[in-house]
Amino acid sequence: MGDKSAIEWTEATWNPTTGCDRISPGCDNCYAATLAKRLKAMGNPKYQVDGNPRTSGPGFGLTQHPSALSLPETWSTPRIVFVNSMSDLFHARVTDGFIRQVFDVMERTPRHTYQILTKRPRRAVRLADRLRWPENVWLGVSVETSEQLWRIDDLRQTPAQVRFVSAEPLLAPLNNVNLDSIHWLIAGGESGPSHRPMHPAWVRSLRDQCEAASVAFFFKQWGGRTPKANGRLLDGRLYDEMPTLALSTSH
């Protein structure tokens, strides 16, 4: 529940909840649902709850794990932590009280930097004034096509110290993105046997928009049959930019 992460933009994962279901096109080939099915078959107790087979798949029912709440407090070395790599903290079936407990843990451990990524920012907005938002908590939204750009508008309404956008899997061009009050943007292609291709022009456009808006840009991968199949170089270079404002306040 607190594994070292192979995700390029973080260091560790923490899953106080597991499970999710489909909400937009980026969910169609969800890596977490595929991994959950494998973990269920292996007998992992965290993935024995079945979800709706049409939306979430076997072993991917939403489950809260109170026993995992205290895990970050056992880590003495500061680390960047992706919260709920196998779920969405603002899913409708995660109780308000449990979300508050997650935020309390993050507040009690300022040595860590927490990255929460959601496809449900509207709930984050509704809960915002009932949560304490310490400086070490980043909030991001997934945006796969222009139909999800509204999530960035919702994100702007939250009091997160750092707000970021994950354009992964990038499934269509995102033109004229409003990056006001956004600090970081991650772009990446889809991976896996059923991956949908990403056009290089889509990535270059986001890079250029970030540069014009002074937003940190991180290019994660081109995608392909495996996550590292086609590498991470964009026009011959790596883009590993991070929101330095946040890292300087929490480390």
Domain with 175, as residue range(s), is 12-250
Task: Look at residue 5 and tell me if it is in a domain.
Answer: no
pLDDT of 248 reads 45
Residue 73 resides in a domain: yes
Helix spans in 143-225 (H):
150-156, 200-213
Q: Please check whether residue 3 lies inside any domain of the structure.
A: no
pLDDT value for 251: 43
Q: Is residue 182 part of a domain?
A: yes
Tens of pLDDT along 124-168? 999 999 999 999 999 999 999 999 999 999 999 999 999 999 999
45-96 pLDDT tens trace: 889 888 888 888 887 999 999 999 999 999 999 999 999 999 999 999 999 9
Is 7 part of a structural domain of the chain?
no
What CA–CA distance (Å, rounded) separates 218 from 215? Answer: 10
Q: Is residue 25 domain-resident? A: yes
Phi-psi region of 146 (alpha: psi -120 to 50; beta: other; left: phi over 0): alpha
CATH number of 21's domain:
3.20.20
- Report the alpha-carbon distance of residue 148 to residue 173 in Å, rounded: 12
Domains contained in the chain, number: 1
Is 48 part of any domain?
yes
Under a CB-based contact definition with an 8 Å cutoff, are residues 115 and 10 in contact? yes
Residue 1 lies in a domain: no
d(CA 95, CA 146): 30
Q: What is the CA radius of gyration of the chain?
A: 17
